[in-house]
Structures are given as C-alpha cells and as structure tokens.
Amino acid sequence: MQAVDIMIHIDEMLDTTQQQAIEVELREIEGVIAPRFNKPHLLVISYNADSTNTATLLKTVKDRGCQAQVVAL
C-alpha cells in the first residue's frame, strides 16, 4: 500500500453539512483512507495510491458543483 496525502482547495466556503456530504462521498471511493476538512475550504485526503488517484478525488469534489484545485502539501 502506498499511502499519500493531497490537499484540495475549494473556492466556495462550505458549511458543515456540505463538508460532511463530500467526506461521505469520498469515503465510498476504494482506497480513500481519511478525507477531512482542515478549514471550510481546505480538504486533506489520505488515500492508497495503488487503488485511486488525485484526478478521481478532484473530480468527485468538482462533481458536487465546487470550483476546486489540488495544492501542494
């Protein structure tokens, strides 16, 4: 297993309900270990790089209607 962390910056300021919905959806992706918001617009995701990838995780966030981009850790 290759554990990796990425940070996604979300332009919108999300409320707790929106954050939780994104975290739940990300947890359903095989290989996602721990999605968590550090701040209302910063999402850190720990995942197994052997099972999923950054593009899939970013697309999941964007598919919820968010403007988002990966930032370096």
Q: Is the pLDDT of residue 2 over 80?
A: yes
Query: Is there a domain that residue 46 lies in?
Result: no
CATH of the domain at 21: 3.30.70
Q: pLDDT tens-digit profile of 29-47?
A: 999 999 999 988 999 999 9
Q: How many domains does the chain have?
A: 1
Query: Domain range for residue 23?
Result: 3-40+54-71
Q: Is the pLDDT of residue 10 over 90?
A: yes
Q: Tell me what pLDDT residue 40 has.
A: 86
Rounded Cα gap, residues 62 and 44, in angstroms: 15
- Report residue 51's pLDDT band, with 50, 70 and 90 as the boundaries: very high
Q: Both tokens of residue 66? A: 């968010």
Q: Is the pLDDT of residue 73 over 70?
A: no
- Report residue 21's pLDDT band, with 50, 70 and 90 as the boundaries: very high
Rounded Cα gap, residues 24 and 9, in angstroms: 18
